[in-house]
């Protein structure tokens, strides 16, 4: 897949993220502190990476900031983006399976490299389930995306 990646900080775990994505065979495009000369401010670089997904230039994005909160807020402002802040593998699995999330958000402060691997393993392994309850969850997301009530 083509994956856009942003971080407002050039932290070891953000560099590890790039390495793990490339090791998995993904084509990575970088924004913010991971890209020389780019705007490293968290709102700007997150929006830039998320817009790549919305525009169809990237299949998914991984966006990072220190807490993950600002990146979550900024990414979810972009129409068509469903960003999920994932702190563990279970959350990453559910975000793909139940919410059809297309942007993974990571908090640099709390994500160790072993945890990063677990989260990425779960994120990329999860597939849309045929379970009726799971399908209903994705339908709720579709209603939110279309601007209709999710109720």
Q: Which residues are catalytic?
A: 65
Among 70, 92, 101, 104, binds ligand 5RP (CB under 6 A): 70
Q: Looking at beta carbons only, is 16 or 126 nearer to ligand 5RP?
A: 16
Can you tell me the distance from the alpha carbon of 95 to that of 61, in angstroms, rounded to the nearest whole number? 13
66 binds ligand 5RP (CB under 6 A): yes
Question: Which one, 58 or 65, has the nearer CB to ligand 5RP?
Answer: 65
> How many residues in total does the chain contain?
151
Cα–Cα distance, 150 to 144 (Å, whole number):
6
Instruction: For residues 145 and 101, give the distance between their C-alpha atoms in angstroms, rounded to a whole number.
Output: 11
Residue nearest to ligand 5RP according to CB distances in the complex: 70
| CA nearest neighbour of 81 among 103, 64, 98 | 103
What is Dmax (Cα atoms) for the chain? Answer: 47
Q: In which element (H, E) is residue 98 found?
A: helix 89-99
User: Which residues from 115-144 bind ligand 5RP, rule CB under 6 A?
Assistant: none
User: Is position 42 an interface residue for ligand 5RP (rule: CB under 6 A)?
Assistant: yes
In sequence order, the 6+-apart residues with CB closer than 8 A to the CB of 54 are: 78, 79, 80, 81
Smallest distance from ligand 5RP to CB 7, Å: 8
Residue 8 in the binding site for ligand 5RP (CB under 6 A): yes
Closest approach, Cβ 17 to ligand 5RP, in A, equals 15
Rule CB under 6 A: is residue 69 a binding residue for ligand 5RP?
A: yes
Residues binding ligand 5RP (CB under 6 A): 8, 42, 65-67, 69-70
């Amino acid at each position: 897949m083509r994956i856009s990646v942003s971080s407002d900080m050039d932290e070891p775990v953000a560099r590890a993220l790039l390495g793990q994505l490339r090791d998995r065979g993904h084509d990575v495009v970088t924004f913010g502190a991971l890209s020389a000369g780019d705007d490293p401010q968290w709102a700007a670089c997150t929006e830039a990476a998320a817009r790549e997904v919305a525009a169809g230039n990237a299949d998914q994005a991984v966006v990072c900031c220190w807490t993950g909160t600002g990146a979550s807020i900024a990414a979810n402002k972009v129409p068509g983006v469903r960003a999920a802040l994932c702190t563990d593998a279970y959350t990453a699995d559910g975000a793909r399976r139940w919410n059809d999330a297309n942007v993974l958000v990571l908090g640099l402060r709390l994500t160790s490299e072993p945890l990063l691997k677990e989260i990425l393993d779960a994120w990329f392994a999860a597939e849309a389930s045929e379970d009726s309850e799971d399908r209903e969850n994705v339908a709720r997301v579709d209603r939110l995306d279309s601007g209709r009530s999710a109720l």
